Structure 1
């Protein structure tokens, strides 16, 4: 009881407004200080809560960034693995396929080499638009490799197949098989090389020469050199003069389709190509030892023609060419390429030097080829071309073959994916085989001397993707109508060629069809 009375007295004294502590402060002052400290504590607590929330947000952000980084690292790793597999891999292709129907509803005849002049180892081609019945494909695969010392290697192979049969499956293996048209290796950037060969590179294998060029619109090579061998490219003699040098060996006939299979006789061709600015000078010497010893009269080019008695086993060839990828014959913006070619003996085959083993010792040929691409207006391009050749003593002493082919392809773009194509061809022929003979149905016949003209007109509505204003852009899908005619005299040239065959005689014929073409 005494303690309770004393506690009550103390409390009354402490909370009495008049009570004063030992330090001189009143109760009111002490309460005010306590309230101030509580307020500050609350403020610090609020700030601590804000910092905690902010820390949580930063932790969440860092977690998201870490996850994104992990995903990015994983994606980069996947890409690196994918690139490691595809690094340096190359794939290119060319293909055409179409249906050709004549005005009688039957399979149409045609082809760029349809005329009698084209029997001269495929030299004299006409326009190919609306004039192809074959299915042809080239698939090229390659691999580029670079090594630690900076040297590099490039492997390339090409497989090809072609057929005129429109069936979905062709089983005639005697005439239909896949060809390995190219298979070679290039290598360069050798530290050991210096001087003119410092930036040169070597190659060996089976290939088309890098310096070949053609007229696409007639499917005619201006220059086609090829076979199996070796060479060195890009020898830099001066700032403006460089050279390419090669040795090729090949049998006669077109690559992949040579009728002549005797590997004991090969045409060996040593070629020097020199370039000075836009100019090119090509010189080739060739020899085919034993070619003149074949006595069975078998043609080396796959034709039915019989060989003469003075077959060549040596030859020479020269070409002077001018390439301008910027101008149309120096007149305006465009493209133009021109070549003047001369050959003798085995070199008298000007389109594919070294491919015709039936040429005589005295054979000579003079050939001129040129084409250009000219943008005429906003939506028009025109591509004219000409090839003309004179040859004499070609397959028989005293023979003479003169011909000239003119072709014009025009493209009119009507929309981003649609164009109208037009093509006109004219070919003049004056052919005098001078008694050259061939076999047909077991009998020996003579080629007839003929003179005359061939004409072709084609109209082709065309769908395409890419640059519709580029006359050489592909792929394309074309519908076409083609009219062809020729002088009746040309039907007499040979009984086993197209002209004069059943349903394909002078007087005019129509072909209709559809074709696709692509390259990349």
Structure 2
């Protein structure tokens, strides 16, 4: 279009004037001369237009290259800024950290003697501590966990974290407990984790590696009954936070542990080690946990004593493998979708060594045919300006657990309530009820050198506690600590439960069905 306009202008000038130049020549130009001159001018105009177009194209390319270079520089600067911010944040978080959990108190009965109790007081709780009842006004132990942590950060944005936990527990109220057989000092955790590794990318860009001895990061519990919904732990390693999408992530871990727990006679037995391979998958509030385990040699011990430190005798078909699955839902902002609060729920199923649903892999006495189905749920909800409620339920059915043909059914319902009176004083209430239908089917145990059978029993247990409590911090938060509580507890149970076992708490001297009172004071703190 540009060339056409130039040509048109020249033609108009050429035919309109008819002369090359009045100043330079008095003789008119011939047609041939005029055409030659016109062609020359046209060629010159076309060259100038082409050169102008080339200059424009070069300028446009230089502009595009400059924009691309600027974008790269900007992106590099943003990445450097992010790295600097990460390093600065890590530096702010660097240093030594100390945290703790502790409880300690006095428990006496209505006769002024040492009271019996504890969250695991009922016969059903002998099933590896599964069936706990409400803990308020029902604890006589002194227990402490001390955690020491050190975080380190590095110039490339990566970080490392060292953690260790010391634990001590005792029932003896004396100020010196060296001779107390229940006194154990343990290193319960000792591990290193590292994250934001510069060489990692893709789904593992922000993944966290760990190795050592630890509680699994994804454990969760019902504090009010001192009962784990899920407790997995041991010595091993793994990778956490593999981020598949914005909403889907996974953890993959391997643990090795011996059977038993704090206080177990066989806890340091290294002949048998249960290896557990677990995958935890999270999508929004949902959690799906899958675990497989194997303990080679567990079914071939030279003696027939329990691996978990109990008085029970093992069966002839003890498991050496197991599997476990859990589907859980965690809502940290709503009480079952009904009101502001929190709620967590889990459905669990396991077989073989995985039939221990509370602490998978911790019970070496399970049979190869053992099966367990367990449901657990709790929530916390404020119901007015001064009142907060925390209901919970745990129920379990297991069969072929320790003997083929045995069956253990139980369910626990617990309600903790807090009534704030002043800024530093609250009244705590707790009601707990547990139903048990236990059929050991001839399972045996030893006591004082003699062998006995567990008895099939059926009945229920209930406990009521009133606890005036002093608090600092948020008195309206039912889980805020520290607390100092004074309490009175009444408990009773079906008489039939006294006959489950002669070495059981129920039925022991001074602690039989018909009603029992406990009184005491307790402190509890965590930070």
Give the TM bin, normalised by the shorter chain: 0.7 to 0.9
Q: Structure 1-normalised TM-score?
A: 0.83
Counterparts of 1:449 and 1:397, CA distance in 2: 15
1:222 to 223, 229, 245: 229
1:278 to 1:85, Cα distance in 2 relative to 1, 3 A:
closer
Corresponding residue of 1:32? none
1:169 to 176, 180, 184: 176
Corresponding residue of 2:36? none
Please identify the structure whose Cα radius of gyration is greater: 1
Superposition pairs of residues 37-436 of structure 1, within 5 angstroms: 87-172=94-179, 174-254=181-261, 257=264, 259-436=266-443
Q: Report the RMSD for the aligned CA atoms in angstroms.
A: 1.4
Q: CA deviation at 1:239?
A: 1.4
Judge which range, 287-296 or 217-226, deviates more.
287-296
Asked whether the equivalents of residues 191 and 210 of structure 2 are also in contact (C-alpha less than 8 Å), the reply is yes
1:473 to 1:486, Cα distance in 2 relative to 1, 3 A:
same
Secondary structure at the aligned position of 2:124 is classed as helix
1:333 to 1:258, Cα distance in 2 relative to 1, 3 A:
farther
2:467 to 460, 471, 487: 460
1:428 to 1:174, Cα distance in 2 relative to 1, 3 A:
closer
Counterparts of 2:137 and 2:300, CA distance in 1: 43
Asked whether the equivalents of residues 227 and 255 of structure 1 are also in contact (C-alpha less than 8 Å), the reply is no
**Any idea what the Cα deviations from partners look like across 1:118-153, whole Å, max 9, x if unmatched?**
000000000000000000000000000001221110
Asked whether the equivalents of residues 181 and 256 of structure 1 are also in contact (C-alpha less than 8 Å), the reply is no
Return 5+ residue gaps in structure 2 as ranges: 1-90
Asked whether the equivalents of residues 273 and 283 of structure 1 are also in contact (C-alpha less than 8 Å), the reply is yes
Counterparts of 1:414 and 1:278, CA distance in 2: 35
1:479 counterpart = 2:486: yes
Secondary structure at the aligned position of 1:178 is classed as strand
Asked whether the equivalents of residues 181 and 255 of structure 1 are also in contact (C-alpha less than 8 Å), the reply is no
**Any idea what the Cα deviations from partners look like across 1:346-383, whole Å, max 9, x if unmatched?**
00000000000000000000000000001000000000
Q: Structure 2-normalised TM-score?
A: 0.82
1:500 to 1:275, Cα distance in 2 relative to 1, 3 A:
same
**Any idea what the Cα deviations from partners look like across 1:267-305, whole Å, max 9, x if unmatched?**
000000000000000000000000000131110111000
Number of matched pairs? 438
Return 5+ residue gaps in structure 1 as ranges: 1-83
Counterparts of 2:237 and 2:411, CA distance in 1: 35
Corresponding residue of 1:519? 526
Q: CA deviation at 1:85?
A: 13
Q: CA deviation at 1:450?
A: 0.0
1:469 counterpart = 2:476: yes
Structure 1 consecutive aligned stretches of length 4 or more whose deviation exceeds 2 Å: 84-87, 255-262
